[in-house]
Copies of this chain bind each other. A is one copy, B any other.
Amino acid sequence: MVLGGVVMEVRRPIPPSLQEIAGRVPTGIVSLDKIIEGGLCRGDTIVVAGQPGTGKTTLGLQFLFHGATKCGENGVYASVIESGDKLKRNARRFGWDLERLEREGKLQLVSLQSTMKAGVSTALETVLESLHAVNAKRLVFDSLSALMTAFESNAEARSFLHIMIKFLEGANCTTVMISEVPWGKQQLGTNFEEFLGDGLIVLDSSFDNSRVRRRIYIPKMRGTEHRLEGYDYYITREGFSLAPTPIPPDKIR
């Protein structure tokens, strides 16, 4: 039994306790939940990082839609840039009717752009009010990278991030924090990832023998037994799904 590692000799795994299962927040991506003990840890903040077009927003929307429709957990999508209208349009392609959720008070889409110019406290107020308005247990924040450029100084961005995370932890609100990996780079774009220590999911897209191959890696997931190997993943009309088995040895470069 191994936590986030590789099994060398077979030891008897200790099954997660009931309490541990209870503490899990399913992402709505069944194939992902299966490999992280049922879901994210309640109240944790997980960074989802990837280059443009790897499906970070889709993953975030699926997380919120699943919470609101299947788990009785309302959610907020807080975006520094994106308009709510485009999010709704794109979600519709997956059959996720965000407008209905909004009308039913299960979801709020918040654009932070203008409030951020008004400073840290206004922006925070906006997010916290939204979380409060729907009694949110899930948050998607899009994105860490935009956060950096939205505020006048790094200190402001950092301050905003600290306070928000403290609040989320207190409110037991599970959060997906989107981080843009610039096109053509392999590194995370900001220095804020280290403040978000509960987990890191990397969405990777690269060429493999003439096809683009999308792979998901989970380098870090606190308090969770997970494999470090990658999984192929696909984005279909039903949203995200992972291949059933880790990438087999002869398929990795």
Contact = CB atoms under 8 A, between A and B. Distances in A.
Interface of A: 1-8, 11, 14, 41, 44, 49, 51-53, 55, 57, 81-83, 85-86, 89-90, 93-94, 113, 143, 145-146, 149, 152, 154-155, 158, 162, 166, 169, 180, 182-188, 191, 193-195, 197-198, 200, 202, 205, 207, 209-214, 218-223, 227-229, 232-237, 243, 247-252
A187 to B, nearest CB: 4
A2 B236 contact: yes
Given A2-B235, A52-B200, A183 B187 contact: yes
A6 B213 contact: yes
B249 A214 contact: no
A143 B196 CA distance: 13
B52 A223 contact: no
- Give the interface centre of A143, A202, A228 by most chain B CB atoms within 10 Å: A228
Contacts of A198: 86
